[in-house]
Amino acid sequence: MKLQIKLALYNTLTKLAIIVFTGLLILFSLEKITYAHISLRLRNKKDLFIKNLSSKEINQILNQQQSFTNYNILKEEYIFLKPIPYQANRTSKESFSTQPRTIEKSTDNYLILTYKFNFDGHSYLLEIGDTMDAVIQLKQTIREFTLLMLVVALLLTLVIDLIFTKYLLAPFYQIIDRKLIKVNDPMNFDYAKIETSTQDFKLLDDSISTLMKKITDLFILEKQFIANVSHELLTPISIISSRLENVLLNEELQEDSENKIFASLKTLNRLKSIINSLLLISKVENNQFNKNDEIQIANIINEVYLELEDRLEDRKVTFKNNIKYARSIRGNHSLMHTVLFNIINNSIKYNKEQGSITVTDYLTPDEYILEIADTGTGMSEQQIEKAFNRFEKLDTDEKESYGLGLAIVKSITTFHDIKIQVSSASDTGTAIKLIFNQQLH
């Protein structure tokens, strides 16, 4: 999961916890709040009723009937007044209770304010009630409003956090993209700083640049070391080879000594081949070759086939050339020849007796794909991962392998911006795809 999503979720969950806590607090306090609100409203109505009350009005009301009841059309509120036994020292006192009341044959529960008071030498009982339906409706309204606000707050929080974290982490993703993902060669590293006001990202940018500078220096040092050592070794090897060949011209040389000299020459040739391979890799990685040749892929396949025809016949391996497209690329002809030669040579070397090698090409709107498949011993997943490492050899009886063939292939294909895909299974065979992304003709 991306850091941006994690930060947004963390912020959302944190705010969700706060909102839920606040919402639950409101819901649990809701009944108390609504009762307090309605009680205050009933008390205000009582005060207004008492303030506007007069002796003449009371007498007129009570002369008409024993008690006075007034209610609104919806029967949600009512006022009830009746005389009670007089007490001269009565203290005006109010109380609240929830009781059923029947108004016009309709019984409902009401929150009732009961108030006993003396007025003009008489005592009266005043009741002002508000139906509990109002309380329930008010609580339901507040619940719905609270739930709606909770959902809206969560959605707004998530959207705002995603936008903010995207803006906040934009420099971080630029650093990852420009200075890690797109870096194929330390020599071409982009040291330009990413613009950001976040100190942590500046530190990350500087640290990656410093680390890459050290890697580049070591990379250059390694290349120079390999090139220098390889070049310096070739001269003494050539001298030793020449002297041993001169010794072989001696007719008095014994057979045992002659065999030892032949073995020594073979070892020197093997060493020379390894040094030449390392030199080639070093030159390719140091960009010492041009890429100005117009390369016909089909022609190189034919050239390689002619060079390896004798080996194919010796191993009784069938070569199938199924190339259908006459395509060319811009690059270095000799290097591309080396690539295809090494791949096909490996397909012969690790193939089975009377096996086969099939060369096929595919064309897509953006890519030209060349596939070389064999029926050889194949490789396991672990071997595929290490196949392009230098001096990595398969566990076979092949003694001529130096473990540098595919390392050379990797260096040259990288130099030409060609992708390599390897699919293989033990005792089944191997298929190597070369994917050309550059402009084809």
- Per-residue model confidence as pLDDT tens for the chain (441 residues): 666 666 767 777 777 777 777 777 776 777 777 778 788 888 888 888 777 777 666 666 656 544 445 555 445 677 777 888 888 787 777 888 888 877 667 777 788 889 888 887 788 888 888 877 766 776 777 777 777 877 787 788 778 877 877 787 788 888 888 888 777 667 777 788 888 888 888 888 888 888 888 888 887 787 777 767 766 777 788 888 888 888 888 777 788 888 888 888 888 888 887 877 777 887 787 777 888 888 888 999 999 999 999 989 988 899 999 998 888 888 888 899 999 999 999 899 888 888 899 999 988 888 889 999 999 888 888 888 888 887 777 655 555 666 788 888 988 898 888 899 999 888 788 999 999 875 555
d(Cα 323, Cα 438) in Å, to the nearest integer?
19
d(Cα 379, Cα 132) in Å, to the nearest integer?
82
- CATH number, domain 199-285: 1.10.287
Q: What's at 396, amino acid-wise?
A: T
Query: Could you identify the residue written with the tokens 């040094």?
Result: 275
The closest alpha carbon to 126, from 61, 216, 189, belongs to 61
What letter would DSSP give residue 197?
S
Give the pLDDT confidence score for residue 66 in this predicted structure: 46
By the 10 Å C-beta count (0-12 exposed, 13-18 middle, 19+ buried), 53 is classed as middle
Tell me if the pTM is above 0.85.
no
Query: Could you identify the residue written with the tokens 């992304």?
Result: 437
Please answer whether residues 342 and 413 qualify as being in contact, where contact means their C-beta atoms are separated by less than 8 angstroms: no
Packing angle between helix 255-285 and helix 405-415, nearest 10 degrees? 20
Query: Could you identify the residue written with the tokens 């050339």?
Result: 321
Give the pLDDT confidence score for residue 141 in this predicted structure: 76
Give the pLDDT confidence score for residue 356 in this predicted structure: 93
d(Cα 308, Cα 301) in Å, to the nearest integer?
11
Give the pLDDT confidence score for residue 73 in this predicted structure: 45
Give the pLDDT confidence score for residue 120 in this predicted structure: 77
d(Cα 219, Cα 119) in Å, to the nearest integer?
106
**Is 95 in a helix, a strand, or coil?**
strand
Query: Could you identify the residue written with the tokens 């976040």?
Result: 198
Please answer whether residues 153 and 182 qualify as being in contact, where contact means their C-beta atoms are separated by less than 8 angstroms: no
Query: What number of other Cβ atoms are within 10 A of residue 332's Cβ?
Result: 19
**Is 229 in a helix, a strand, or coil?**
helix
Tokens representing 184 are: 């194929």
Tokens representing 190 are: 């982009």
Q: What's at 166, amino acid-wise?
A: K
CB-based contacts of 308: which residues, under 8 Å, 6+ apart?
341, 344, 345, 348
Rounded (to 5) percent helix, strand, coil in the chain: 55, 20, 25
For the segment(s) 293-436, the CATH number from 3.90.950.20, 3.20.20.140, 3.30.565.10, 3.10.20.600 is: 3.30.565.10
d(Cα 206, Cα 185) in Å, to the nearest integer?
18
Residue extents of the structural domains in the chain:
3-139, 199-285, 293-436
Give the pLDDT confidence score for residue 287 in this predicted structure: 74
